[in-house]
Chain A
Amino acid sequence: MTTGELTAQEKAAIRLSERAGKPANLWRDAWERLLRNRAAVLGGIVVLLLVLGGIFASQIAPYHYAEGDSAEAHTVPSWLIGMLPSYIEGYAKISDKFLFGSDYLGRDVLSRLLYGIRVSLPVGFVGAMTAFVIGMVYGSISGYYGGRIDNVLMRIVDIVYAFPTTLLIILMMAFFKSSFTRVEPGTLSYTFNQVNRVVDRMLGLQGGGMLFIFMGIGMTAWMGMARLARGQILSLKEKEFIEAAHMIGAGDMRIIVRHILPNIIGPCIVSQTLNIPVYINYEVFLSFIGLGVDPPTPSWGLMIADGARAIRSYPHMVLFPAAFLAITMFAFNFLGDGLRDALDPKMKGTS
């Protein structure tokens, strides 16, 4: 116990001497702390690789995600066959054309995994951004103005919170999917449909229906963020420096944007980074039950569902998408934990 403290003090002293002359800076300190965290750096590298893989999917992927020959369905690569239960050798087609094998329509699993990044990562990032923006605005208003406004706004959150989120998303996805596919120019659904097409084209996944997934997740994800932001502001707005700002005649907007937000943004970013895997998982879940992206768009959830159906005869089909998903989750969790420890060392090891 005591020796541990001593070494920690020594380390701190060494760090302090290394930094002599450089001014203290929250972001630079956080960055340096992050770089010292090996797990977080590893997570960051994996995330970076995934981002690159997603962006250059059309260049790297050996085949197109939607094209396959059913004569080549369910092939097993030769390097894998030894690791599978031996009875599979009796009927499986062994082919080295596909590195990770092919699915039930003869499509290349590796190519579909790479294109699948374009579904999973945007869902994670957009989910986090939407939750961040809506939650911050909502929570700031509620916490800052307090009183009756706070009461009403928080009661609304309480009600939405009591909704079984999963069931709500399922219902909303069914609603979006059926009502926005009817295209009649001039209507609201038509506008949504056009926006959806633009989003799909930007991601290079025609007919994927990504906008609706963004909407479904965004509409249910902001409550936690709103509560967090409100709580932070409640504890902050009684502080002297806010009072001082009031005193010199600063307006509400100025106080919120210049004095309050910079102080609460750290924990809020951390909370959303840690939530990215949650949003990714939501899309996987939706696609898994058939309410996510529209086939033939490749989603890891869809691939896991396809694989799970054939798990007895071709267990390898489920392994690769499952592994990709798990690695992505690990990477984001490591990165999020590292970011939290770096931005607020006091919170280390909690949550």
Chain B
Amino acid sequence: MSRYIIRQLLWMIPVLFVISVITFALAHAVPGGPFDREKALPPEIIANLEKHYGLDKPIWQQYTDYIGGIITRFDFGPVFSSRSRRVNDIFADHLPVSAQLGLIATLIAVGIGVPLGVIAALKQNTVWDYLGIAVAVFGVSVPNVVMGPLLIVIFALTLGVLPVAGWGTPAQMVMPALALGTGFAARIARLTRASMLQVIREDYIRTARAKGLSERVVMVRHALKNAFIPVATILGPMFAALVTGTFVVEQIFAIPGMGKYFVTSVTNRDYPVVMGTILLYAFFLVLANLAVDVTYAFLDPRIRYT
């Protein structure tokens, strides 16, 4: 197991290397430079700025300087659109907000999805089951671009119980987290229900009942643990999809997260911000998938990694 983890961690190095090269190439292939303005700056000033930021060097050297900065000093470089702030400052200011939003949404997704799926499976073909399925279909079909405005119209404008936008107070967090989390909750509920239905028909569940275990122990220790394996599979991709979600939700609710910043940086050719964000998210993504792999082995002792 530990050998597998070490190997996967080492595998991250070539992955991140390739990603950084592709991103660097794509970002620099976008025509125009970071100092293009509506009113063109004098060429001398642009030349000075480019010299200051090292943009006059050959492209490969810009790349090695950039990567070298990250590895040796953990420095993601300057921000072209601001003289005083560096990419690290941007991360420090905006990343925690996005992470907070993503974390609350994940908690909502798992906290609503798993119980809903389990109840629907245990009470199959009853009102509970149909309610669970209805909620799940609704959640899967209503994307967060729709969910966000819908929540605002209902809770902020009509009922007036929650603030329309902003970030910081718990009341401001409710709607964005719900808008982001319900879709995933629905997906998890569907999957949990399906795999739970399959598991409770297995022989070992019958055996567990036959040897006189209480229904609660059978369900929690034997059924739920096994039913959770397929659910764990989608947690990795879900993390990736959460990134998409935060971008949209942040815009709807005017939340100062990474999303808006990333999009403006792409259109402004703020290379270091673009590169840094993509590398950082790729890093988290690979880690998340590794965590899922490890969870598998924990849930199902038959799975062995060598």
Using CB atoms and an 8 Å cutoff, list the residues of chain A in contact with chain B: 4, 85, 158-159, 162-168, 170-172, 174-175, 178-179, 182, 277, 281, 284-285, 288-291, 301, 304-305, 307-308, 311-312, 315, 318-319, 322-323, 325-326, 329-330, 333-334, 349-351
Contact = CB atoms under 8 A, between A and B. Distances in A.
Contacts of A326: 141-143, 146
Contacts of A311: 149, 152-153, 157, 164
B213 interface: no
Interface string B19-32: 10011001101111
B267 interface: yes
Contacts of B149: 304, 307-308, 311, 315, 318-319, 322
Interface string B121-161: 00001000000000001001111011011101100011000
A285 B26 contact: no
Contacts, number: 137
Contacts of B299: none
A319 B150 CA distance: 8
A170 B194 contact: no
B145 A164 contact: no
B251 interface: yes
Given A162-B19, A178-B31, A349 B137 contact: no
Given A159-B19, A178-B31, A311-B157, A166 B142 contact: no
Interface stretch (B64-72, B95-103, B241-249): B241-249
A159 B27 contact: no
Interface of B: 14-16, 18-19, 22-23, 26-27, 29-32, 125, 137, 140-143, 145-146, 148-150, 152-153, 157-158, 164, 190-191, 193-195, 197-198, 240, 243-244, 247-248, 251-252, 259, 262-263, 266-267, 274, 277-278, 281-282, 285-286, 289
Given A325-B145, A350-B194, A351-B190, A285 B248 contact: yes
B30 A164 contact: no
A158 B8 CA distance: 12
A336 to B, nearest CB: 10
26 contacts: A159-B14, A162-B15, A162-B282, A163-B282, A164-B240, A164-B282, A166-B247, A167-B262, A171-B23, A174-B30, A281-B145, A285-B145, A289-B259, A301-B145, A304-B145, A307-B149, A308-B149, A311-B153, A312-B157, A318-B153, A322-B145, A323-B146, A325-B145, A334-B137, A350-B191, A351-B194
Contacts of A312: 157, 164
A167 B23 CA distance: 10
Contact of A171 (B26, B32, B244, B251): B26
Nearest to B251: A289
Given A164-B240, A178-B31, A171 B282 contact: no
Secondary structure call for the A interface: helix
Contact of A308 (B148, B193, B266, B281): B148
A215 B190 CA distance: 31
A182 B285 contact: no
A296 B30 CA distance: 24
B157 A85 contact: yes
Contacts of B22: 163
Contacts of B27: 171
A175 B240 CA distance: 22
Given A162-B286, A351-B191, 8 more contacts: A162-B282, A164-B240, A164-B278, A182-B31, A311-B149, A312-B164, A322-B145, A329-B143
